[in-house]
Every structure is written in C-alpha cells, then in structure tokens.
Amino acid sequence: MKTIENYSLLNNNTFGVDVNARYFIEYDSVDELQYLLRSDLLQENKFFHIGGGSNLLFINDYEGVILHSKIKGIDAIEGTRSVVVLKVGAGETWDSFVEYCVSKNYGGVENLSGIPGEVGATPVQNIGAYGAEAANVICAVECIDVKTGMEKIFTAKECEFGYRDSIFKRSLKGKYIVTYVHFKLQKTGWEPNVNYGSLKDEFAKYPEQNIAAVRSAVLAIRGRKLPEPKVLGNAGSFFMNPVVPVSKFNELKSTYPDIPSYPVSEKNVKLAAGWLIEQCGWKGKSVGPVAVHGSQALVLINKGGANGLDIINLSDSIRASVREKFGVELIPEVNIIFG
Ligand code: EPU
C-alpha cells in the first residue's frame, strides 16, 4: 500500500473535475483496510471512500485521505441446480461483473449492463435501470465498521433498500466500508424482464431471446441516450426522479396530461425528472463549460474544464426552474463532496 500525497483525482471521477486529494491510498484486502483504519494517518485526518467515482461531484480539493478499494474476486460460495450465490470484491468493476454473469448465463443483473462504477457502491446507492435494481439480487453485504475495524455482514433486509437508497446512505452513512457483496443469480428458469419503456422493442430485435440479448439491448439504448464519461464528463443521472403525493400528481396531470409517471405506492407517484427539466427548456442548453445533455435532460455534462461550482450553479438554476414551473423539488442523486 502506497500513500500518495497531492494526488490528482481527475481520473477518479467521471465528471472529469480536476481536484487534488491531500492523500490517496488504495488497498487490496480486508486486512490492509483494517490496518489502515488503525493508522495514525486515518486517525488524524478525515477520510472519504470512493468507488469508480461515477456518482461523485468534488467541489474543491479534498483536504483529507481518499480511500479506494482494490479488493477483487468473483467466487461462487453457494449454489443449487437453479441458483448461484457469488461473492464479489468491492473493487471489481460493476460492468465486468455483469459481463461475467452474462457469459456464464447467470440471470439477474443483465438489465443493469453498462452502469459505470464498482461493485462496492452498488448496495449503497441501490443502482437501478430498465426495471431492475441491485436490491433484487443482493443477498448480503460484507462491511468493515470504520470505528472498530470489525467485520459485519448485513442481510438484504438490514440494508433497507429503497429507490436509489439504502441504510448506508442514511443512518449508517460513513460508518461502514463495503468489502464484498453477495449476489443471488438464476441458473435456470430465467425470464426476461423487459417491460421497461423502450427495452421491450429493442429486445424484440434480437433473434435469440436470451440473457445476452437483454445485455445487448440495454447497452444499445444506453449508448443512444447516455454520454460516454470518457468522452464527455458526467455522472449519469444528476437528479433523482422526484416522488410526490398522488394529490400533487393529479394536479400536475390536469395541466400536463402527458406527464410521465410511475406508481410507487397508494400515496405516492414517481415523476420523470428528465421530462420536467426538458419542459423547462433546459435540454441541450450550455452554460459556459457545462451543459444539459441533448439526449437525456437528467444528465449534466462537463464539456471540458468545468469545476464543481460550475456544475452546482447549473444544477441550482435547473432546480429553480422546475420548482417555479411545477412546484416540484429536485434532489441531486450525485454525491456532492466539499473538500
Ligand atoms: N424524458 C424526457 N426527457 C428527457 C429524459 C427523459 O421527456 O430528457 C422522459 C422519457 O421520455 C420517459 C421518462 O422521462 O418518459 C423516463 O426517461 P428514461 O427512461 O430515460 O429514464 P429516467 O427516469 O430519466 C432512470 C434512471 C437512469 C436509468 C434509466 C433507465 C434515475 C434517477 N435515473 O432515468 O439511471 O438509466 O431510468 O432505467 O432513476 C443513473 O442513475 O445514473 C441513470 C442513468
């Protein structure tokens, strides 16, 4: 393990914001992480743990220690004729893991193809796309308690998963570091889950209606709508889709009959933030070095050389427009880090 001082995080955040970390450390194992947590450096400095940096926005230099897991491995730890449980290192790239599952014909994560980031972040954020979310397949999460260095395994129920949400974002925020995630995948009896919007039509184009075809269909749709972070800095959806009471939804529906919506419960309805932003005229608009993506208004992009404040200012302007036009509050989905 090497401690690097004044480390540029440019390649560790997909927004492509050029900030420095006072210290940067990568570790390869649970033992190394436990050792680090006891070290003077971590006892004396604040620290922040990153994954693939695909859901982060750094506002300025980070005056502490940035930690990054390189814990690797995909191991089958349980299995029957119909299911397999894979234990996956937090430092594995999410999409390489999805690719692995598809190559083995294990069903359950194919709808989540192409999502940037690393496995350790998937339970924290409960990543989701095209009618699926990580919570559908996660059966346990192995963590280290930051204070005591002790291992703890959370069951899926204990993770309290919700829409882009888990206990690790709320009451346990910053208290645990994920080291391994256990995923339960199907070996037999797989059925495609392709009812989400455009996925059905895209999937129908493939002659073989199998797991690999779902992955290809999802990657094709993502490729059309979402910018490639290596080409245009971005962190996927910048905002969460807002959840509003049914009464608020009915009020909006009477003025905007085409407003897209998804039922959440008897009391609440989820709206499409991308649609709200587009209706306010922001889609494709640039403000200096930042812009709203032209194919998906939920994505803010760094056209080159933007800093965190440029992006926050654009986010604030968008939020004000949506608040004024629809009376709806947009909440950033991206984790905003002040150094
Ligand atoms: N829409 C617009 N204009 C836009 C964007 C969307 O009118 O600019 C409308 C679409 O026509 C559709 C609805 O909004 O009726 C939903 O759009 P889409 O299917 O593109 O999905 P989304 O709700 O905007 C969510 C996730 C994405 C995920 C897609 C597909 C959130 C915050 N975002 O976006 O996740 O890929 O569904 O499942 O839930 C991410 O988290 O980084 C991410 C990209």
Which tens digit of pLDDT belongs to each residue from 190-241? 999 999 989 999 999 999 999 999 999 999 999 999 999 999 999 999 999 9
- 272/244 Cα distance (integer angstroms): 11
pLDDT at residue 1, rounded to an integer = 87
Burial class (CB in 10 A: 0-12, 13-18, 19+), 170: exposed
**In degrees to the nearest 10, what's the CA dihedral of 131, 137, 139, 144?**
-80
Q: Is the pLDDT of residue 46 over 90?
A: yes
Which tokens is 332 given?
């950033």
**In degrees to the nearest 10, what's the CA dihedral of 169, 119, 21, 287?**
-80
> Counting atoms of ligand 1 from 1, which one is nearest the CA of 129?
38
- 215/279 Cα distance (integer angstroms): 31
Q: pLDDT tens across 138-153, in order?
A: 999 999 999 999 999 9
Q: Are 338 and 250 in contact (CB under 8 A)?
A: no
> Counting atoms of ligand 1 from 1, which one is nearest the CA of 260?
15
- 330/90 Cα distance (integer angstroms): 30
CA angle (248 as vertex; 244, 254 as ends), nearest 5: 130
Q: pLDDT tens across 155-199, in order?
A: 999 999 999 999 999 999 999 999 999 999 999 999 999 999 899
Our mutation pick for probing the ligand 1 site, out of 109, 282, 298, 328, counting the most ligand atoms within 8 A of Cβ, is 298
Q: Is the pLDDT of residue 339 over 90?
A: no
> Counting atoms of ligand 1 from 1, which one is nearest the CA of 295?
8
Compute the average pLDDT of residues 68-93: 98
- Measuring from each residue's beta carbon to the nearest atom of ligand 1, which residues come in under 6 Å? 129-130, 196-197, 225-226, 236-237, 240-241, 260, 272, 274-275, 278, 283, 296-298, 333
Q: How many whole angstroms from 273 Cα to the centroid of ligand 1?
A: 7
Of all protein residues, the one whose alpha carbon is nearest to atom 5 of ligand 1 is 274
Q: How many whole angstroms from 272 Cα to the centroid of ligand 1?
A: 7
Phi/psi at 325 (nearest 5 deg)?
Answer: -80, -40
Q: How many whole angstroms from 298 Cα to the centroid of ligand 1?
A: 7
Q: How many whole angstroms from 274 Cα to the centroid of ligand 1?
A: 6
pTM of structure? 0.96
Residue among 22, 69, 110, 164 flagged as catalytic: 164
**Active-site residue, 324 included:** no
Which tokens is 160 given?
């309290």
Give the orientation angle of helix 211-225 with respect to helix 94-103, to 10 degrees. Answer: 150
